[in-house]
Amino acid sequence: MLGRTAAAVGRRVQWAAGVRAYSAGEGELNYHLSPQQEQLRDMAREFARREVAPKAGEYDVSGAFPHDEVKAAWELGLMNVSVPEAYGGLGLGCTDACLIKEELAWACTGFSTAVEANTLAQTPLILGGSEELKRKYLGRCIEAPISCSYGVTEPGAGSDVAGIKTTAVKEGDKWVLNGSKMWITSAGVADWFFVLAKTDPQANAGKAFTGFIVEKDTPGFTLGKKEINMGQKCSDTRGLTFENVVVPDENRVGEVGRGFILAMGAFDYTRPAVAAGAVGLAQRALDESLQYAQERKTFGVPIAQHQAVAHLIADMAINVEGARLLTMRSAWEIDQGRRNTYYASIAKAFAADIANKAASDAVQVFGGNGYNSEYPVEKLMRDAKIFQIYEGTAQIQRLIISRELFGR
């Protein structure tokens, strides 16, 4: 593994400054990456294909969390990239995070999800946390290769976030949390959790919830079993239970009643990266199909020469290029300081859909081999489905898009 030397840190700081300057620009849309962004992308690509891709199949079978690879990603500066410089991070933009996410996802979307989970947990803290909270918990992520988790979804409240039942009751200078969460990414390895709880049962959703930072060893806080999911198996997913969990008021994120706004606001920053992950998977499906179609022969010629197969692959390319552009548009909008909810939902919905189609079509190109675990595309097909579910289902994205359109 590559060591985190002082020279390496210095180089990262240098190119990070270049990346930020280029991403900010003067508000002009630019289809070219800066030299620093190309370096960032190439570094992520080299790491993903050298360190992650060769072990993806092993982790898919074992379901083990990729601790060594996550540590290596942290050493290279490929984790926590959105943490502001003031708290020790690189302070990169959403566009830059998407460049990294696509390359990591090409190798294994379970791994890229494990890395990106930190950003989802950190973003509400960045948006609304006190200076003390930011320095303590964001700084902790920079100082060591730890994971953190976003604890919002519940057994009866997934897309319907307003239906959250977990409560937080104020007692003096502390809060007492009771309830449960479900499908929490990186829960089994997280050092701390952003947790959304109801603090005012009478208020509407916009004022009923408050966010808190809960540490993993807090008394009364327990983890459920690791869930065995269809795909992305090395991403650790579990339930959480809170039984009279006492949290100091200093661990409250933002003002009382603003938790829902912070939790939902985080998605404007993270949905472009989720879309980038879907693009990475779709690009992998395309790359595998291209290679296989030129090697596999039927009727005396490579199957690439059969129009039916060639058109499947052409459609993959069309969709990958379109999804990548939508993803970058959504990331670019928020890097310009503009609200990107509309574009983030479009990118997330489209990229998730085309990732599933690309993976399915890749299996079709491979034929019987594609249905077998000895070949890479069956894993892609299993891994792809979750993109239409987590961080807002495909249907929720369309609901958001339609509301944005009719609200103009």
Enzyme catalytic residues: 391
Structure tokens at 408: 């103009």
The residues with which 193 forms a beta bridge, in sequence order, are: 149, 214
Residue 205's Cα: distance from chain center in Å? 25
> How many residues in the chain?
408
The residues with which 328 forms a beta bridge, in sequence order, are: none
